[in-house]
Structure 1
Amino acid sequence: MSDPDLQELSGRWLRQYRPAPEAAVTLVAFPHAGGSASYFQPLSGALGPQTEVLCLQYPGRQDRRHEPCLDTVEAFVDAICAVLRPRTERPLVFFGHSMGAVLGYETARRLEAERAVDLLGLIVSGRRSPTTTRHETVHLRDDAGILAEIQELNGTDTALLDDEDIRQMILPCLRADYTAVETYVHRDGPPLRSPVSVLTGEADPQVTRQEAERWSEVTSGGFRLQAFPGGHFFLNSQQGPVTRALTESLADFRAAASSPRG
């Protein structure tokens, strides 16, 4: 792929809300189902200048709303890996929320297997371990059923959903995203070498404490679990504590990477 092609691909998929030319590490943020890069804009401002934050913009939403949505985890990972393979100027950390946690994990698996990038660690939130299973069928509901799920999880300002134009704009990507994550099947393979940090809401109906703890099964590196007050979108109400947790994980990942291995 030529440099112009890589630049065009990067321009479609990555958003950077705060320049960080002196950053020591790049955090790649993977949004939730129905989410967009702008969800992480506050985080981009909260993390210090030592961290470059690149937010993924999936097709089918906001400025990419005229592009076809993706409806399998594999299709997402294929595209995201193509975007991230050239990002070799700094070590990477992946941070994904909900569906984004699955995408971050599978992208980490792929790129670690290829030894394509310097991955320091994976941070996941609002998602059970991929080694656990639940039978979920939100993607099979009618439009009203999908919107009811979003309202129940409080992931979108419910006032926005009163606007018919907005509903029709977001429903295709919501259905496609739910299809991708609910039809995802974890395949056995080598554990990640990178450490994994897990953030979870104490009242999240999507994740029990036991399901969150089982993320330890997917890594041979370090493991850390932190619980926060709130439900599935505890990130919204716990911005300060979550930012501190991310900062601590980034520091731990960097320290582990610089430690001599026996």
Structure 2
Amino acid sequence: MTATSTALIASAASDDGSFHPPGLEEFFPPGIFFLDTPFEMNRIVLVRLLAVAVLLLLFYLGLRRARRVPGRSQALAEMAVEFVKTNFADDVLGEKVGRRYMPLLTGTFFGILAMNLTGIVPLLNIASTSIFIMPLVFALAVYVAFIYAGIKQHGGFSFFRNQLFLPGVPWPMHIILAPVELINVFLVRPLSLSLRLMLNMLVGHLLMVLCFSATNYFFVTGEDLGVLSIFGVVTLGAGVVMTLFEFVVAILQAYVFTLLTAVYIQQSVSEEH
């Protein structure tokens, strides 16, 4: 059990020994550094910075001395980049366009993956993307690239025309459909990208803490439970399963977010969407 988990689990038991499930207050911890300034940092901000630092360090160590015949660390780094190139850049965007947006796709996938995985890392134990602002930052970066790619490919007027006016639709219908497309493409999409990522990581964290909090209650803090304490075995097993499930969800959410990034860019550079 991690130190962070222990603190969260302990908060689930009140002074009278009864059980209280974890709540959303866990995602808004008190500040640690630069208190009462615009640069105030709490535990989640520090976890984000640590995730980025570790990610950059791993790629630096893998690629700092690139050779024609790669060593083990270089081969792993190249395999990671090749995964993004094959699954997102080449398959969705094509080789020419995909090469242009490889840095964005690579940074998006591994950045989200690293921040998702902090939810199951001992002593960190919270996903850095479980707070809305971080998924929103990724989504806004995607949409800046989406608009930039479309304007670069078609020019401003043609890009917005392609996005707002559906082909094959009678012109009078555009009076209704154009505002709907405007809201859908430029508001709903970035919000849905953000919310999908945030909610998956938030709910997963709450379920894990709930399972381990219940285990702590049945085994440690609960009073006069008697035979009911056997349920601690069930909640402990559920916590382990949820941890493994969170690991899969962390990878899947990074994959889906990056895939949608590539799809949206492809739609912006195509003649019709």
TM-score, reference length from structure 1: 0.26
TM-score, reference length from structure 2: 0.25
Q: As a proportion of its length, which structure holds more helix?
A: 2
> 1 or 2 for the larger relative contact order (CA 8 Å, sep ≥6)?
2
